[in-house]
Amino acid sequence: VPRDTVVSLDGVLQPPDAAPASRHPERREADVRRTLDATVFDPAAFRRAATRVVSRLEAYLRDCSTRGVALTSPAALLEAARNLMSTEDAAGSLDERRLDAIIDLYIRTGIQVHSPGFMGRQFSGVMPLAAVVDLISSTVNQPSSFYEAAQLPNVAERIMAEELNRFVGWEPGRFAMVTTSGASLANLTAMLAARHSQFPDVWTRGLAAAGGDARPAIAIGDDAHYSVCRAAGILGIGEEQIVRLPMNRRRQIRVDCVRPVLRAAAERGLRVFCLVASAGTTSVGAFDPLEELAAVAAEEDVWLHVDAAHGASLLVSDSLRHRLRGIDRADSFSWDAHKMMFVPAMCTLLFYRCKEKSYGAFRQDASYVFDKEPDAYTEFESATQSFECTKRPMIMSLWVLWALYGRSVFARKIEYLCRLAGDARRILDGERDFEAVHEPEANILCFRYLPSNLARRVVPDFQVRVRNGVRRAGRFFISKVDIDGEAALRVVFMNHRTDTGHFRMLLDEIRRAGQAVLAEEDVHA
Ligand SMILES: Cc1ncc(COP(=O)(O)O)c(C=O)c1O
């Protein structure tokens, strides 16, 4: 690879020993093309770079040590990253040592998702083959909203919709599945479709067309993910029109309260068009009683959307599927495969029970992409149903894993992680200085560290400071969440390398961090 290709003042890339830029525009253009092909676009350079990257990633994947995140200050990282940048006159030549250094910095500064110490968030240590598929996707670059641009991804979407529907049970051909860039967008899209189904004129005439004096509203459980309220904001519903449904001790929506709350909302002049349930919640992984909520929603003529971003993956397990009993009666639900299906972010599936209604979210003409007459190809594409125009062919990693490994590898991993949460809960029972906040229904467990020497004083934000202490120590990565207005430590088991031994080690780490906070308080007292 020419090392010292340069950019001349007129911006033309020149190979190192090329004659000075030709006065003939045609020859100059040819030089540019030849140089690009010999440098940035050189297939052999691509293979060399990919080989270097893969061998470093192999070492990374082999490392089973217990690590969380090495948090670097943004200023230091900015400097380190800037120092790795070539000067402009590198112009397409590849400095492989610089590439190595960038990979190392990227890996080193991330949350170590493949380590057993990673217990903090819902994204996962991916099945590595998925990353290989992502490499193909990035190379062949087939955005998936349109069939002509991404034929196999569109067919794979159809196959995965049918495969996963085996666990839902909808009539083939009558339901729809659309991929979206994240569950936040899936929730927004479903709520748009719900709004259209109740207020079909709003898309054209605006919110003023929504139901005379009745104001459009949604009903949610208190633990709904923030993306739901954000979507309500985008839809122009307004926070005052978000109706809160009371929760039970397990942090599920109380079905017995739904009817009275909807009636009270109607008396306040609200028209609740969508009830958003969760399966499971972000905070504790609780599953709302979908069957019962679906019955109320149908009776009240309200669209039931289930935010199953986290928990839908339990559908693929024979022993855990029952947690989502009733999902077949929902109008729509979102499913993040980049959570418990262990593929890289983003990969979200939005399912609709009724295919026609999936076209209600967006209603537009755009002659440069949409044809007036649908044909055999457009029938397969999602452009009219999803927000994105250019969209990652996100289904490919999921489909390839599913096609090559089959269902059981997903089911086994999910079952292991949920079992581990139950085992960890039982371990807490035996520890006097810890208190569990709930019974885990999935792979999320929240608890508090309450040592006896804490009881004697008030330490503001104690759990949060403990969590930050654990993070600082760098061996474990956990998160925190407010439950009933009070912070708790939150563990999300996403990694089959984590076992109960690691959980016990985590408890010791929490004790160390907690005692350090208390000692610090003493110093300041
Ligand atoms: C229940 C729930 N809904 C929605 C989301 C948002 O998903 P995404 O990050 O894919 O937009 C999350 C993310 O954690 C979640 O837990």
Q: Which of 184, 338, 492 to mutate to test the pocket of ligand 1 (most atoms within 8 A of CB)?
A: 184
SS3 assignment, position 174: coil
Identify any residues that bridge with 349 across adjacent strands, giving them in sequence order: 179, 335
CB 273 within 8 A of CB 218: yes
Distance between CA atoms of 459 and 343, rounded to whole angstroms?
Answer: 40
Tens digit of pLDDT at every position of the chain (525 positions): 344 444 443 444 455 455 555 678 888 899 999 999 999 999 999 999 999 999 999 999 999 999 999 999 999 999 999 999 987 666 678 889 999 999 999 999 999 999 999 999 999 889 999 999 999 999 999 999 999 999 999 999 999 999 999 999 999 999 999 999 999 999 999 999 999 999 999 999 998 888 677 899 999 999 999 999 999 999 999 999 999 999 999 999 999 999 999 999 999 999 999 999 999 999 999 999 999 999 999 999 999 999 999 999 999 999 999 999 999 999 999 999 999 999 999 999 999 999 999 999 998 777 877 787 888 898 888 899 999 999 999 999 999 999 999 999 999 999 999 999 999 999 999 999 999 999 999 999 999 999 999 988 888 899 999 999 999 999 999 999 999 999 999 999 999 999 999 999 999 999 999 999 999 988 766
pLDDT of residue 19: 52
Q: Which of 189, 336, 347, 350 to mutate to test the pocket of ligand 1 (most atoms within 8 A of CB)?
A: 336
Task: Report the percent of the chain where pLDDT is more than 70.
Answer: 94
pLDDT of residue 22: 63
User: Does the Cβ of 331 fall within 6 Å of ligand 1?
Assistant: no
User: Does the Cβ of 142 fall within 6 Å of ligand 1?
Assistant: no
pTM of the model: 0.93
- 160 is written with which tokens? 């995965």
User: Does the Cβ of 183 fall within 6 Å of ligand 1?
Assistant: yes
pLDDT of residue 437: 97
pLDDT of residue 8: 40
How far, rounded to the nearest angstrom, does the alpha carbon of residue 114 sit from its chain's CA centroid?
A: 17
CB 341 within 8 A of CB 318: no
Distance between CA atoms of 178 and 381, rounded to whole angstroms?
Answer: 9
Identify any residues that bridge with 194 across adjacent strands, giving them in sequence order: none
CB 122 within 8 A of CB 310: yes
Q: Which of 122, 343, 309, 300 is nearest to 228 (CA)?
A: 309
pLDDT of residue 93: 80
Q: Which of 379, 334, 360 is nearest to 180 (CA)?
A: 334
Burial 200-218 (b: 16+ CB within 10 A, else e): eebbeeeeeebbeebbbbb
Over the stretch 74-117, which tens digit does the pLDDT of each residue have?
Answer: 999 999 999 999 876 666 788 899 999 999 999 999 999 999 99
CB 109 within 8 A of CB 73: no
Determine if the peptide bond prior to 119 is cis (ω within 30°): no
Ligand 1 atom closest to Cα of residue 336 = 10
| H or E, element range at 200 | none
CB 122 within 8 A of CB 495: no
Query: Which residue is associated with the tokens 């995965």?
Result: 160
Q: Write the DSSP string, 121-134.
A: -SS----HHHHHHH
∠491-495-500 over CA atoms, to 5°? Answer: 65
Q: Which of 123, 124, 282 to mutate to test the pocket of ligand 1 (most atoms within 8 A of CB)?
A: 282
